[in-house]
Amino acid sequence: MNASTIARNSALARGAMLASPSVRSAMLARHLPKIAILLAVLVGVCGLATLVMVGSLLGLAPGLPNSAAEAFGQATPSATAVAGIPAVYLSLYERAGARYGIDWTILAGIGKVECDHGRDPDPSCTKEGAVNSAGAGGPMQFLASTFATYGVSAEGAGRPDRWNPADAIFSAANYLRASGAPGDYKKAIFAYNHASWYVEEVEHWASVYRGAVGSHEGGGSPGETELSGVAGVGIETFIEDWPQVGPVRMVAGTRALLTPRDGHVALVPAQAPKVVQAMVIAGNELQDLPYGSAGHPDPRGAVNEDCSSTVNYVLYRSGVRPIDEIVRDNPLAQDYVNWGDAGPGRWVTIYSTTSPTDHVFIVIAGLRLDTSHNGTDVGPNRLEDGPRWRILNEIPTWAHWSVRHPPGL
């Protein structure tokens, strides 16, 4: 075998070693004969020890890890991860996790919440130089100041670029490691985004991507449920065991839907983030209440709710706004005109106005929760006052709306 052939087959071996486990398996299957020849030559030149070393690096030696991720005790991707994360991003999450010795699924959870693995239409996620209202940019939504400290080049050369997926993901791994991972993932995630709901959301998606959620019927923790057979993929979700809440009814996909026979019950979308699922459940809890102001300043246990106390309750119940803050500030409709981030959210959008009258409502996973219904509802609750799920193919046009969303949603 000549030198050029050895070099070419060595490159194949290195490519297989650096790829993600799923990609590496395919490469090894396709090029195994060539790699086997390379190993034979190496044995002849360098002896058996070289064969064992190279074989272990490629995952061919018995009893040794067959991937860098496994060497750090990391989980293999769940069916949901393989189906829902672009292959390039999945490989980058695994490689970055292995390099920095952290759980790759936490990186994937952040990538999902921030920019849906580079698929979010917000220009700040993918357009070089574009940032959101907070100044964050790139698929992992780095601030310039944070990236200046923790940004790294994935390939180890050149100036790191926060809009480059590889650099962004490896930099996120570096940041998490510096912030406490793997010893304290909650602390590290909170450092990434100072919000408790954000920590829960990232951990939720991490559990989905590593297939760590069980079935309630199978003896799992209370409140857990698993849906299978959705587009041929097992969809795993987790719902907390909320007090005074009946069975949680799920629907496949990312949009909430009303049940066919009961307009007071919205089906919880199985593939929505945990905090969004919690919002849908909170909306269901309010459906039998009449309209009134009893929900101010504290919306908990109120005998009636108006437009703003309805939104306050949903944000409190899902963990987006602390109850102490709500009771202290007593947010009214006009207070939501400037609350949150500008523009519609990926999952949740809040519409508020002060003209011609003060009003606010919230759209959760495509379903509108509103106390207003005259001419703005064609669904089963169109004749009912109070907080209800409303059906209308367009946003009511009687006001000039401020359109905003909870940060990250």
Q: Does 74 map to a domain?
A: no
Q: Does 214 map to a domain?
A: no
Extract the tokens encoding 159. Answer: 């100036």
When divided into structural domains, the chain yields a total of 3
DSSP state of 336: G
Ramachandran bin of 240, using left for φ above 0, alpha for ψ from -120 to 50, beta for the remaining angles: beta
Q: Does 316 map to a domain?
A: yes
pLDDT tens string, the chain, 409 residues long: the values are 444 444 444 433 443 444 444 444 444 444 444 444 444 444 444 444 443 344 443 333 333 333 444 444 567 888 778 888 999 999 999 999 989 989 999 999 999 999 999 999 899 999 999 999 999 999 999 999 999 999 999 988 889 999 999 999 999 999 999 999 999 999 999 999 998 888 888 888 888 788 543 322 222 222 233 332 222 222 223 334 344 455 678 888 888 988 877 888 898 998 899 899 999 999 999 999 999 999 999 999 899 999 999 999 999 998 899 999 999 999 999 999 999 999 999 999 999 999 999 999 999 999 999 999 888 888 899 999 999 999 876 788 888 899 999 998 9
Q: Does 314 map to a domain?
A: yes
Confirm if 74 and 95 have CB atoms less than 8 A apart.
Answer: no
Q: Does 38 map to a domain?
A: yes
Tell me, yes or no, whether 100 and 62 share the same domain. no
Which among 72, 75, 78, 76 is positioned nearest to 98, based on CA atoms? 72
Which residue, of 178, 209, 240, is where some domain finishes? 209
Question: For residues 344, 370, 364 and 288, what is the CA-based torsion angle, rounded to 10 degrees?
Answer: 170
Tell me, yes or no, whether 85 and 62 share the same domain. no
The alpha-helical segments, DSSP class H, found in 19-143 are 21-46, 48-58, 68-71, 79-84, 87-100, 104-115, 123-126
Q: Which domain holds residue 90?
A: 79-209
CATH of the domain at 152: 1.10.530.10
Q: Does 353 map to a domain?
A: yes
Tell me, yes or no, whether 97 and 132 share the same domain. yes
Tell me, yes or no, whether 25 and 99 share the same domain. no
Tell me, yes or no, whether 159 and 268 share the same domain. no
Tell me, yes or no, whether 17 and 99 share the same domain. no
Question: For residues 154, 158, 163 and 168, what is the CA-based torsion angle, rounded to 10 degrees?
Answer: 30
Tell me, yes or no, whether 264 and 390 share the same domain. yes
Task: Give the type of residue at 408.
Answer: G
Tell me, yes or no, whether 183 and 259 share the same domain. no
Q: 243: exposed, middle or buried (C-beta count within 10 Å: 0-12, 13-18, 19+)?
A: exposed
Q: Does 364 map to a domain?
A: yes
| Pair type for strands 250-251 and 262-269 | parallel
pTM: 0.47
Tell me, yes or no, whether 328 and 390 share the same domain. yes
Handedness of CA 269, 270, 275, 279 (dihedral sign): positive
Q: Does 237 map to a domain?
A: no
Tell me, yes or no, whether 263 and 304 share the same domain. yes
Tell me, yes or no, whether 54 and 95 share the same domain. no
Tell me, yes or no, whether 62 and 192 share the same domain. no
CATH of the domain at 315: 3.90.1720.10
